[in-house]
A and B are shown apart, each in its own frame.
Chain A
Amino acid sequence: MKFDIKTKARTPINANRQIKVQSEDLKLWYGQKQALFGISMDIYKNSITALIGPSGCGKSTFLRCLNRMNDLITGVNVDGKVIIDGKNIYDRDVDEVSVRKKIGMVFQQPNPFPKSIYENVSYAPIKHGIVKKGSDCDELVENSLKSAGLWNEVKDILKNPGTGLSGGQQQRLCIARTIAVKPEVILMDEPTSALDPISTEKIEELMIELRKDFTIITVTHNMQQAARVSDYTAFFHLGKLIEYADTESIFVNPKIKQTEDYITGRFG
């Protein structure tokens, strides 16, 4: 199998790369069942990191650890550290609400609020006090929708419900909603798995565009997508991080047999 690796779109990998998110020996249990076995990895600023692996390998669980979304599930225990900007987000003095404000998230199923397109974007920034209702807010909504590549399609129908858009538009609305809060890291949990190829392409282009301003971590089942958009790829299997390197190395020249078997489609 051959992978189309768009090398020119990539951030040049150099020694000056900055670490944005650092997980140290991260373990997680769902009740009695351990789902993550000591994940340690550094995620670099202004890059796209793809997490791949077969279903149930813990990649989504790991992703949700990075903004403490797993706190919402009862019976989850987390051990280890996730250090973002020098601070462990699991420290006692860190409020998970403020973590999620800084680390935004886009989900598998487009899930706009059943409110207008405008309110979908403006709701959280107003609640966070980033903007007040009025022209500032209008500007933020416009900029966010522009960044998400949705502005031209919706500028005349901002009062229509967000749920009336097509699947791909809804997902871009969700991305606009996430970036309106001005996060630094955006987590994407299989953002295109519910979308058609054309919408997928738009989202992928958008991810590459957004990399300039944000650090993006994405979970994907689509190997081609990981190869196309990501700078770094991490391969998970059975709750363990098997191999993590720049995308080209992983796809062209994997060091571990398991990784090679997975990306060439021999198992998974």
Chain B
Amino acid sequence: MSTHNPFFDPTLKKRHLADKIFKFVALSALLIAVSFLVIFFTDIISKGLPSYKQAYVNLPVTYNKDTVADSSYAIDEEHYELVSRAWYRDMPMYATAHPEVMNKTTKEWVLADDEVDQYLKGHAHTLTDEQKVVVDKMIKEGSVELQFNSIFFSTGDSKIPENSGFLSSVVGSILTIFICIAFAFPIGVMSAIYLEEFAKQGKVSTFLEININNLAAVPSILFGLLGLAIFINLFGMPRSSALVGGLTLGLMTLPVIIVAGRTALRSVPASIRQAAYGLGLTKWQVVKDHVLPLGMPGILTGSIIGIARAMGETAPLIIVGMIAFIPDIPTSFTQASTVMPAQIFTWAGMPEGAYVERVSGAIMILLGVLLTMNALAIYFRKKYEIKW
């Protein structure tokens, strides 16, 4: 160390300190972002997972003429309140469909009331002290248990919390997004091709470009009003339907796809176009066989991001009536239906604890679907990416 250091720089210490501070600030920012994400996911998952389980009670059920006429007599008085109203409603239909159960009293698992369910899960509930004693006794006997909540995954919305499910809105979302893609993707891509490859660069195309960019930034609820005015009022399409919702979301996604498409086409190297034109190819041959394949990964990525945004969109759909109460699973594009985020919005406004946990459970499904879509986008992009 005694030797002279020719690299000694007195300012260096200070400059390195600035480095460290900068690194620390950047790292803290990242940590804050990550911790929020972690909090969000733990909260959603811890609240949502219980909704995939549902309480059932094992009780003697009496099937006979009287109980079928008034199903409230099918369960003894002590346990009457513990059974779901949905079960009482459906029991006569079940008995009619299965005559072999008639005139017997059998012990069977029946859907419990949502308050029993919440009590079992340790959430806030409205059970009276007497009811609690009964339930505690049943827990000891093993005649109350949390089973897989098949109702949640196989039915639509219900005013009875324990009977409400998410499937109708999943199907509604699929139908709506199908319409959205079928409408917005071809029109968006063809518009991008026209603007980028055929339109003369001039005042008109600049004007169009500015307006399309503006449209991409218009608040989504305005597209809902546009959809209401055009598709429902002018064209008379059925309101609340996947058709109208899909077209409205399509209008919203269209500018995003056009902008993404133009950017992707513009990034195709000019040398490829020149090579193709130099061989005496027509515009359509050049675009179809050379420009479009090279631009496709970019177009797909932009489009899928736009469509994923449409999938999570609620505001414009409220305007066209897709916030409706939909107990049945839609089977056509013109039937009234709802979508996942709208269903979440509806449930989030409900006071019962069963709905609160269903909100988180539904968010988990929605996030799962969106992540799957993004994964698909990456897969398609990699698959169609042309190696240079």
Contacts and interface: CB of A to CB of B under 8 A. Distances in A.
Interface stretch (B54-62, B135-143, B279-287): B279-287
Given A74-B201, A127-B285, A163-B388, A113 B272 contact: yes
A67 interface: yes
B289 interface: yes
Interface string B98-111: 00000000000000
Interface residues of B, number: 24
A111 B386 contact: no
Contacts of A127: 281, 285
A161 B200 CA distance: 34
Interface in A106-145: 107, 109, 111-114, 123-124, 127-128
A99 B294 CA distance: 26
Query: Interface size bucket, A side?
Result: 20 to 34
A98 interface: yes
Given A104-B279, A124-B279, A181-B280, A111 B274 contact: yes
A178 interface: yes
Contact of A101 (B280, B386, B387): B280
B274 A100 contact: no
Interface in B188-204: 200-202
Contacts of B274: 69, 72, 105, 107, 111
Interface in B256-290: 269, 271-282, 285, 289-290
A113 B280 contact: no
A111 B275 contact: yes
Interface string A39-52: 00000000000000
A63 to B, nearest CB: 11
Nearest to B200: A74
Given A74-B201, A111-B271, A163-B387, A128 B280 contact: yes
Nearest to B282: A97
Contacts of A113: 272, 275-276, 290
Contact of A174 (B200, B273, B275, B282): B275
A167 to B, nearest CB: 13
A177 interface: yes
A112 B280 CA distance: 15
A178 B280 CA distance: 10
B297 to A, nearest CB: 12
Contact of B279 (A74, A161, A163, A178): A178
Contact of B278 (A104, A114, A123, A128): A104
Contacts of B281: 97, 124, 127
A114 B388 CA distance: 6
B387 A100 contact: no
Contacts of B293: 114
B278 A105 contact: yes
A187 B22 CA distance: 56
Contacts of B272: 111, 113-114
Nearest to B388: A163
Contact of A107 (B278, B280, B289): B278
B287 to A, nearest CB: 13
A67 B279 CA distance: 10
Contacts of B269: 111
B278 A69 contact: yes
Contacts of A107: 271, 274-275, 278
A112 B275 CA distance: 8
A130 B272 CA distance: 22
Contact of B280 (A72, A100, A111, A161): A100
B271 A181 contact: no
B216 to A, nearest CB: 25
A98 B279 CA distance: 9
A163 B271 CA distance: 13
Contacts of B386: 114
B204 to A, nearest CB: 13
Contacts of B294: 114
B284 to A, nearest CB: 10
Interface in A158-193: 161, 163, 174, 177-178, 181
B271 A72 contact: no
Interface in B332-388: 386-388
Interface in B167-216: 200-202
B280 A97 contact: yes
B388 A101 contact: no
B259 to A, nearest CB: 21
Counting chain B CB atoms within 10 Å of each CB, the highest count among A114, A128, A161, A177 belongs to A114
Contacts of A98: 280
Nearest to B205: A74
A128 B281 CA distance: 8
Contacts of B273: 72
Given A74-B201, A107-B271, A109-B271, A69 B277 contact: yes
B279 A101 contact: yes
A113 B388 CA distance: 9
Contact of A181 (B201, B202, B279, B282): B279
Given A100-B277, A101-B279, A114 B271 contact: no
Contacts of A72: 273-274, 277
B267 to A, nearest CB: 13
Given A107-B271, A114-B294, A100 B278 contact: yes
19 contacts: A67-B278, A69-B274, A69-B277, A72-B274, A74-B200, A74-B201, A97-B280, A97-B281, A97-B282, A100-B277, A111-B271, A113-B275, A113-B276, A113-B290, A114-B386, A124-B279, A177-B275, A178-B278, A181-B279
